[in-house]
């Protein structure tokens, strides 16, 4: 087997100074960049056997201690290791969120088992591909619902999004076209998207979208639909054969939410008699008359927080955010910002600050959590020092997120530290918790991350994580 030679001085200098993604530094960057929306890479063979996920009942598995995921420091001097580790904060930190006591009180009421009927803790996470796959959010959903009650699904996209998934629903469709704010480059297409950034448009007569549960369910559902009406209303038909016209009140051409008063049964079908009659945005689903937790995943592959600028204003998508009644909003971006050596860090911080103001205005009683970018590597070669293998702006992005969290008095969770620190993803790869791209995690890895976040949240509110 060919031995690994130490990296040449010229190669190290080129990588460190230029920060470019050329083949000598990273022969797989195009394959693993979440900016390209490529299909998820397969997990390592045998990963499921090495790292058990959450149990079928949703209870946490026996989680390994954090030191079990310490980074592999191939050829790195102690000074390099210490300099990188100093930037990591373990646990979930509260920098003075004004609504934290309110959140704690609601969780403890649910914990008591004496919560008033229809008490629902709603958590909404916005993010990139780590969120769009509903993997870390599905792990958190299982843990919280197993302990505090299952109140349902939460937000879902209007139809199937290529290379993305939801762990509780699936779609069948014909005659509909999907548009995404991630592909919005034409100025005439800016500011037209609802919250979440997806639009389903009927392009053929009799176009149909069916939403089906992945697991059998006899539950009934309270449903809300984001709809932009043009010519004619959309029609909904559920499993109980109820037919309902989905037509928002008020003028056409504006995103509005339509709440269906009659509890629905899954699966249900949304149809359009004529093309371009109306547009469909996101859908909210909660169990009828339920008490417990809802965790929503609102994400898109390859996106950054700046993508919110394509969502409709004034007041259209933020009205939908208000209607979500979220008790906690998690803002989980950073990976796609970190891969860009030309990132305008000042602009990124301003975008994050503005996003906090938007959430505070729409949801004045909600707790906000900023999630620091997870660990990821652009160079696979283990003979490089850790500092030289990280994405060019990862440290700066995470530092900016921490700075804005302090300024904005939010909660902050250092995902990279939770993994074990810089270059820890390599140890996660060896344990079957990360994919070969050294950017994404396996299902087991995302669920392990959710377990750590859950434990940190319970510790912060003074409850035992069980």
CB atoms within 10 A of CB 134: 25
pLDDT tens across 31-42, in order? 333 433 333 333
The half-sphere exposure of 246 on its side-chain side, counting CA atoms within 13 A, is 31
Q: Topology of domain 155-289, per CATH?
A: Jelly Rolls (2.60.120)
**pLDDT over 70 at 48, yes or no:** no
Asked if residue 391 lies in contact with residue 339, where contact means CB atoms within 8 angstroms, the answer is yes
The domain segmentation of the chain, as residue ranges, is 32-151+292-466, 155-289
pLDDT tens across 219-278, in order? 999 999 999 988 889 999 999 999 999 998 888 889 999 999 999 999 999 999 999 989
In sequence order, which residues have a C-beta less than 8 Å from that of residue 25 and are 6 or more positions away? 11, 14, 15, 378, 379
pLDDT tens across 177-215, in order? 999 998 876 655 667 899 999 999 999 999 999 999 998
Strands (E) across 342-423 are located at: 367-372, 411-414
In sequence order, which residues have a C-beta less than 8 Å from that of residue 165 and are 6 or more positions away? 133, 134
In sequence order, which residues have a C-beta less than 8 Å from that of residue 350 and are 6 or more positions away? none
- Distance, CA of 21 to CA of 36 (rounded, Å): 15
Query: What pLDDT is attached to residue 189?
Result: 60
Q: For domain 32-151+292-466, give the CATH number.
A: 3.40.50.1110
């Amino acid at each position: 087997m060919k031995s690994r030679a130490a990296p040449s001085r010229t190669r190290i200098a080129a990588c460190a100074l230029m920060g470019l993604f050329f083949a000598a530094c990273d022969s797989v960057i195009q394959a693993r960049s979440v900016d390209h929306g490529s299909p998820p890479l397969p997990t390592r063979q045998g990963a499921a056997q090495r790292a058990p996920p959450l149990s079928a009942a949703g209870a946490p598995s026996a989680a390994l201690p954090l030191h079990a995921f310490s980074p592999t420091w191939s050829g790195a001097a102690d000074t390099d290791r210490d300099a990188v580790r100093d930037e990591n904060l373990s646990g979930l930190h509260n920098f003075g969120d004004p609504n934290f006591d309110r959140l704690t009180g609601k969780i403890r009421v649910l914990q008591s088992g004496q919560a008033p009927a229809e008490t629902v803790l709603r958590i909404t996470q916005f993010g990139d591909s780590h969120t769009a796959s509903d993997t870390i959010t599905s792990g958190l959903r299982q843990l919280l619902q197993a302990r505090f009650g299952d109140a349902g699904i939460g937000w879902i996209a209007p139809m199937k999004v290529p290379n993305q998934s939801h762990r509780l629903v699936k779609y069948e469709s014909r005659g509909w076209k999907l548009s995404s704010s991630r592909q919005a480059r034409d100025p005439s297409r800016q500011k037209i998207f609802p919250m979440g950034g997806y639009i389903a448009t009927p392009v053929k007569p009799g176009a149909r979208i069916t939403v089906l549960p992945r697991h059998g369910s006899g539950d009934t559902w309270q449903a809300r639909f984001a709809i932009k009406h043009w010519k004619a209303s959309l029609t909904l038909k559920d499993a109980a054969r109820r037919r309902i016209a989905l037509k928002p009140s008020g003028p056409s051409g504006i995103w509005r939410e339509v709440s269906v008063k009659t509890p629905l049964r899954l699966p249900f079908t949304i149809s359009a008699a004529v093309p371009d009659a109306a547009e469909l945005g996101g859908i909210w689903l909660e169990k009828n008359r339920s008490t417990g937790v809802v965790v929503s995943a609102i994400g898109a592959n390859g996106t950054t927080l700046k993508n919110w600028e394509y969502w409709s204003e004034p007041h259209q998508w933020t009205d939908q955010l208000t209607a979500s009644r979220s008790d906690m909003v998690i803002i989980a971006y950073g990976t796609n910002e970190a891969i860009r050596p030309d990132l305008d860090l000042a602009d990124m911080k301003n975008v994050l600050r503005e996003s906090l103001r938007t959430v505070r205005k729409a949801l004045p009683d909600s707790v906000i959590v900023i999630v620091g970018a997870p660990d990821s590597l652009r160079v696979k070669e283990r003979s490089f020092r850790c500092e030289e293998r990280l994405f060019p702006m990862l440290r700066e992005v995470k530092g900016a997120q921490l700075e804005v969290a302090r300024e904005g008095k939010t909660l902050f969770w250092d995902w990279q530290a939770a993994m074990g620190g810089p270059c820890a993803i390599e140890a996660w790869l060896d344990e079957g918790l990360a994919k070969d791209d050294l950017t994404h995690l396996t299902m087991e890895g995302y669920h392990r991350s959710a377990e750590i976040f859950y434990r940190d949240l319970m510790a912060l509110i003074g409850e035992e994580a069980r």
